[in-house]
């Protein structure tokens, strides 16, 4: 299989969220996804369920020979290995990893929809994504142009990270 480019969104709001995200990216690399770009960490207000701690969100560009479903399986296994439980929809979590897009592939399956159907409406996804892939087309528009349309209230860059590729 040829190498594909995928984009992931990672978020956490329990424990040391930044350290958990960094560890998740290391485990994704160990499982077959090479991290080639990683956004800064962004502090973001909770979404969906508001009575919980703020999140740290990151996006990463991945090169992989895994299929889209193989990458999804790796992401889900990484979540479980880092203590993720799915007890409450939109509730607090140690880690959440979403596959945003996988090359130009589309999918509409129960477990995987590509491209991610709500990424264009969520600043906590789109702002970090635009940092690493400003020209990426999301719903026919460049990701950097789409960010101007979103409410970014409470979203704060925590600063650039050197790299998880150290």
Give burial (CB, 10 Å; 0-12/13-18/19+) of 104: exposed
- List active site positions: 84, 93, 96, 98
Within 12-154, residue ranges assigned H as helices are 17-30, 68-81, 123-132, 143-147
First-residue to last-residue Cα distance in the chain: 27
Q: What is the 3-state secondary structure (H, E, C) of 85-141?
A: CCCCCCCCCCCEEEEEEECCCCEECCCCEECCCCHHHCHHHHHHHHHHCCCCEECCE
Q: Whole-angstrom Cα distance, residue 149 to residue 152?
A: 9
DSSP state of 121: G
* β-strand partners of 147: none
């Amino acid at each position: 299989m040829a190498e594909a480019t995928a984009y992931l969104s990672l978020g956490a709001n329990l424990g040391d969220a930044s350290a958990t995200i960094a560890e998740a990216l290391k485990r994704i690399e160990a499982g077959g996804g090479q991290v080639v770009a990683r956004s800064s960490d962004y502090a973001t207000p909770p979404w969906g369920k508001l009575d919980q701690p703020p999140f740290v969100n990151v996006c990463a560009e991945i090169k992989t020979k895994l299929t889209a479903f193989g990458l999804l399986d790796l992401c889900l296994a990484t979540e479980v290995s880092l203590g993720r439980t799915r007890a409450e929809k939109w509730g607090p979590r140690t880690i959440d990893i979403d596959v945003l897009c996988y090359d130009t592939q589309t999918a509409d399956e129960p477990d995987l929809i590509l491209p991610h159907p709500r990424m264009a409406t969520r600043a906590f996804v789109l702002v970090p994504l635009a940092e690493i892939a400003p020209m990426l087309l999301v719903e026919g528009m460049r990701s950097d142009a789409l960010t101007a349309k979103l409410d970014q209230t409470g979203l704060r860059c925590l600063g650039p990270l050197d790299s998880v590729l150290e």
